[in-house]
Amino acid sequence: MIGKKGIWAFRLAVRLEPGSRLGSSETSLELDLGAPVCTVKLRPVGAGNSTIGAAERLAFFGAGYESQEQAANAGTVLQDALRIASARSSVSIDVGDGRALGGPGPVLKEAFERDGVQLLSDVHGLIVYEARAVTRFLGGSATSTVVSDLDRFLERLTATIAATAVLDERARVGADLLAQVAFERSSAAKHVMATTAGEVLALPAERTGRARELVEELLVQVDEALTETPVDDEEQKRQLQSLRSTLQLARGRSISSRFRDLADELPDAACRAEGRRALRRAYEARSDFVHDGEVSEGLPALTSELTAILGHVVEVRAQQSGDDAVRPKAP
């Protein structure tokens, strides 16, 4: 057994969008992010990346947690905070899905352990582990660069953690999709990815008023038709059952209208009105491409406008959920 048991740590490895870097000449930074994350170290990942500013992949290391649960909570809070900060800043960050990019075999692990070194897989995302004397992460395997202000980004990150901002699974997936927009190359792919993020963020809503009454009336008629259909008329039954399923879905409002409703989460009436128009244009452009293969003029500008609105929605969702958040005490 290597080292002392009972001391837990996490590593959160992230990836910046292609062509973007965080401006820093440091090889390592110690960051006080506040409870429950507390102090972490930020380091570059990958061979040849001697400084944070040169690296496309970065890793946050947190240590000294008393339990696996506490370390996992701290890492998850940081991962969510990065999602939110990324959605509201000029740099997109892929916070990972816990997938191993490569790792050591059992023979190599055992050989290193005899020398007091714990070898772990290079995971893209969050990994929680029991801290040992020495831990190493083993993985597998010229363009213009945009350098973002690291201090400003860290200020936003720290403020997000201090606000106890958390995301539900819908907001997490929406934020992850939003970050992936920057990794797409074509303008059409970027736009489809961004609108998909909006579809995920759009909340379910039921139809009301006369529209709902009509749906219910049609459902009654379909049920009556099913009852009257001869037992051996399988084709007619299949068609009616398919229609019934469609009408049940029609009890909810359409995805396009719920997509536009995201504007209701913007800060003031003027923003909400303009946001609704922008969301309508963005969704129409998405439909034109998906259904007709038509790439709308000015698509990059529409996508930029859409990602800004959705970034704000992610931040608002985090603020709303943070009011009642309860987290374990800091280590």
Residue 221 sits in the same domain as residue 94:
no
Residue that terminates a domain, selected from 249, 277, 310: 249
176 or 165: which carries more pLDDT confidence? 176
The pair of three-digit structure tokens given for residue 263, joined into one six-digit string: 């504007």
The C-alpha atoms of residue 87 and residue 219 are separated, in whole angstroms, by 42
In a domain, 306, yes or no: no
In a domain, 138, yes or no: yes
Residue 85 sits in the same domain as residue 231:
no
Residue 14 sits in the same domain as residue 147:
yes
Instruction: Measure the CA dihedral 316/320/322/326, to 10°.
Output: -160
Residues ≥6 apart with Cβ < 8 Å to 112: 104, 118, 119, 136
Residue 129 sits in the same domain as residue 228:
no
Cα separations in angstroms, 172 against 166, 255, 327: 9, 19, 18
259 or 1: which carries more pLDDT confidence? 259
Of 44-58, 70-84, 303-317, give the range with the top mean pLDDT: 70-84
Using alpha carbons, select from 140, 121, 36, 118 the residue that is nearest to residue 79.
36
In a domain, 294, yes or no: no
For the entire predicted model, the pTM comes to 0.68
Res 327: pLDDT: 47
Expressed as residue numbers, the domain containing 225 is: 209-249
Res 143: pLDDT: 37
275 or 91: which carries more pLDDT confidence? 275
Res 195: pLDDT: 95
- Backbone angle region of 125, left / alpha / beta, with phi > 0 → left and psi within -120 to 50 → alpha: left
The number of domains in the chain is 2
Average pLDDT for 1-22: 76
Residue 163 has pLDDT above 60, yes or no: yes
Res 3: pLDDT: 38
Residue 44 sits in the same domain as residue 116:
yes
274 or 78: which carries more pLDDT confidence? 78
Residue 262 has pLDDT above 70, yes or no: yes
Q: Quick one: pLDDT band at residue 133, thresholds 50, 70, 90?
A: low
Average pLDDT for 230-247: 91
In a domain, 258, yes or no: no
In a domain, 204, yes or no: no
The rounded mean pLDDT for the chain is 84
Average pLDDT for 122-128: 92
DSSP 213-257: HHHHHHHHHHHHHHHHS-TT-HHHHHHHHHHHHHHHHTTBPPHHH
3 or 198: which carries more pLDDT confidence? 198
Residue that terminates a domain, selected from 249, 278, 313: 249
Residue that terminates a domain, selected from 222, 249, 276: 249
Residue 245 has pLDDT above 80, yes or no: yes
Sign (positive or negative) of CA dihedral 282, 269, 157, 7: negative
Instruction: Report pLDDT digits (tens) over 266-297.
Output: 888 888 898 999 999 999 999 999 898 888 77
In this structure, are strands 123-130 and 57-65 parallel, antiparallel, or unpaired? unpaired
Res 331: pLDDT: 46
Residue 151 sits in the same domain as residue 68:
yes
Residue 126 has pLDDT above 60, yes or no: yes
In a domain, 151, yes or no: yes
Residue 249 has pLDDT above 50, yes or no: yes
Specify whether the CB–CB gap between 280 and 260 falls below 8 A.
Answer: yes
120 or 238: which carries more pLDDT confidence? 238
Res 108: pLDDT: 61
